[in-house]
């Protein structure tokens, strides 16, 4: 599926270490340690297996049906929007505005839908532990699509196309299933489609692969400014402590010192609220709709810990395709990548709680360093 940068079906060659990567055409070179860190951000794409909690994950018929559902206005109570309204291809599978607007405004920035199979938590607060569980939320949320399970069943039954697609994937007409089963099956087909939205190789990946194979042209064509930014990312910026690995995220939750209020008097609870919602949900991996009888992927859900520290924590987003997914942060408060970097450069201490990440401290970057770090981010 060609969304954003091209999808690639194969992984690159195995990584190798080099004594020193001298970068011709620029003054930037990387030490052994830096090279090892760079190589750890690939290869890309990462091979994934079907989701065992979703019996139609990877099923071509489910992917086709899921795509149909994703673009169908029948999933909205007012028939004036679909999933694709807020997850637009030309806007990095987001919507380009600070906070999403469905039937009504929502509280957070719309997350892009690239590389979803690599996540273990979904949404800014991780209230879902599966992509299909996350896909249920906007269908039911009155601010987004606003259907009830019964209304969804009616919509699918009434639509010849959707009814046919449902029957082909799930072996029976929607009319024969109870509304909750139709809801979960719909979400699982939507997940099967979203799983194939994989970002393709980026300029960084080509540079990283060139390092792995000591291919001079690929190393030299990567811009010098991006190389300097990469060095800051790995070194002084310590960005890769959270944004590491091929998907540039540790998949966990942190408080990065943003202002906590949604509106005056309303605080976004972040991960604290997310864990509570996760535990209360029937649609988590410990619930009755997990298709894997062995619950092989339920370990994180079983062991996740709820503490006051989770207040104000939000998921570390992947940085892949980040230049295409503005505005940034869970509240959409940073319009540009430069604004994001400046936040970390002059992080407001008054926004850091005593139990916040101690690694967060103002980086005090120069304008030139900010430019370099942004140049690097744009190559992801």
Partner 1 sequence: MKTPTTIFAADTAFTPLRLAGQGSGTHAAEGSGCGPSPSRAETGFVSSSSDERTQKMYRGAPDLIVSVPDKIAIEKLFSIKVSACVGKDSEAPRCIRVYAGMPMHGHGTNYKPSERKPGPGHSAFNGMLFCMPGNWNLTFDREDGGKRQQLTRKVKIGR
Judged by CB under 8 A, the residue of 28, 37, 116, 239 near partner 1 is 37
Query: Is residue 355 exposed (0-12), middle (13-18) or buried (19+ Cβ within 10 Å)?
Result: exposed
Q: Which stretch binds partner 1 (CB under 8 A): 97-105, 130-138, 210-218, 242-250?
A: 242-250
Judged by CB under 8 A, the residue of 241, 259, 346, 362 near partner 1 is 241
CA distance 378 to 90: 16
148 binds partner 1, rule: CB under 8 A? no
Residue 288 CB, shortest distance to partner 1, in Å, is: 21
Residue 220 CB, shortest distance to partner 1, in Å, is: 26
| Spatial contact of 53 and 182, defined as CB atoms under 8 Å apart | no
242 binds partner 1, rule: CB under 8 A? yes
Residue 96 CB, shortest distance to partner 1, in Å, is: 30
CA distance 28 to 371: 16
107 binds partner 1, rule: CB under 8 A? no
Spell out the residues 6+ positions from residue 60 whose beta carbon is closer than 8 angstroms to its own: none
245 binds partner 1, rule: CB under 8 A? yes
351 binds partner 1, rule: CB under 8 A? no
Judged by CB under 8 A, the residue of 253, 283, 314, 328 near partner 1 is 253
Count of CB atoms situated within 10 Å of the CB of 108: 19
DSSP 270: B
CA distance 139 to 306: 27
Q: Which is nearer to partner 1, 175 or 241 (CB)?
A: 241
33 binds partner 1, rule: CB under 8 A? no
CA distance 377 to 380: 6
17 binds partner 1, rule: CB under 8 A? no
230 binds partner 1, rule: CB under 8 A? no
Size of the site for partner 1 (CB under 8 A): 24
Residue 330 CB, shortest distance to partner 1, in Å, is: 17
Q: Which stretch binds partner 1 (CB under 8 A): 50-58, 225-233, 262-270, 350-358?
A: 350-358
Residue 272 CB, shortest distance to partner 1, in Å, is: 12
Residues 288-347 that bind partner 1 (CB under 8 A): 299-300, 302-305, 309-310
Count of CB atoms situated within 10 Å of the CB of 305: 7
Residues 352-371 that bind partner 1 (CB under 8 A): 355-359
46 binds partner 1, rule: CB under 8 A? no
Q: Which is nearer to partner 1, 125 or 144 (CB)?
A: 125
| Spatial contact of 171 and 107, defined as CB atoms under 8 Å apart | no
| Spatial contact of 195 and 117, defined as CB atoms under 8 Å apart | yes
Ramachandran quadrant class, 22 (left: phi over 0; alpha: psi -120 to 50; beta: rest): beta
Spell out the residues 6+ positions from residue 321 whose beta carbon is closer than 8 angstroms to its own: 4, 5, 92, 112, 114, 199, 202, 380
Contact set with partner 1 (CB under 8 A): 37, 40, 240-242, 244-245, 250-253, 299-300, 302-305, 309-310, 355-359
């Amino acid at each position: 599926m060609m969304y954003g940068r091209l999808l690639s079906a194969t992984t690159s060659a195995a990584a190798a270490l080099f004594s020193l990567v001298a970068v011709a055409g620029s003054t930037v070179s990387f030490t052994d340690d830096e090279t090892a860190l760079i190589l750890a951000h690939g290869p890309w794409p990462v091979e994934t297996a079907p989701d065992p909690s979703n019996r139609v994950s990877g099923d071509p018929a489910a992917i086709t049906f899921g795509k149909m559902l994703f673009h169908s206005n029948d999933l909205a109570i007012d028939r004036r929007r679909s999933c694709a309204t807020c997850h637009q291809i030309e806007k990095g599978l987001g919507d380009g505005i600070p906070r999403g607007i469905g039937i009504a405004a929502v509280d957070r920035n719309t997350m892009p839908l690239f590389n979803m199979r690599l996540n273990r938590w979904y949404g800014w607060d991780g209230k879902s532990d599966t992509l299909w569980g996350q896909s249920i939320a906007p269908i039911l949320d009155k601010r987004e699509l606003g259907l009830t399970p019964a209304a969804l069943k009616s919509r699918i039954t009434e639509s010849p196309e959707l009814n046919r697609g449902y029957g082909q994937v799930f072996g029976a007409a929607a009319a024969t299933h109870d509304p909750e089963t139709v809801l979960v099956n719909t979400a699982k087909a939507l997940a099967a489609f979203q799983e194939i939205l994989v970002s393709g190789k980026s300029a960084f990946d080509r540079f990283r692969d060139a390092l792995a194979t000591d291919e001079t042209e690929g190393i030299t064509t990567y811009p010098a400014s991006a190389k300097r930014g990469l060095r800051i990312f790995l070194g002084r910026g310590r960005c890769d402590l959270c944004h590491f690995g091929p998907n540039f995220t540790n998949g966990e939750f942190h408080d990065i010192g943003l202002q906590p209020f949604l509106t005056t008097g309303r605080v976004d609870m972040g991960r604290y609220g997310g864990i509570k919602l996760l535990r209360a949900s029937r649609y988590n991996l410990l619930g009755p709709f997990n298709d894997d009888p062995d619950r092989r992927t339920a370990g994180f859900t079983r062991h996740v810990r709820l503490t006051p520290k989770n207040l104000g924590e939000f998921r570390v987003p992947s940085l892949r395709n980040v230049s295409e997914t503005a505005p940034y942060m869970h509240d959409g408060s940073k319009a540009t990548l430069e604004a994001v970097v400046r936040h970390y450069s002059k992080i407001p201490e008054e926004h850091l709680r005593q139990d916040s990440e101690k690694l967060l401290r103002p980086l005090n970057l120069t304008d030139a360093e900010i430019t370099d770090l942004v140049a690097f981010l744009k190559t992801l």
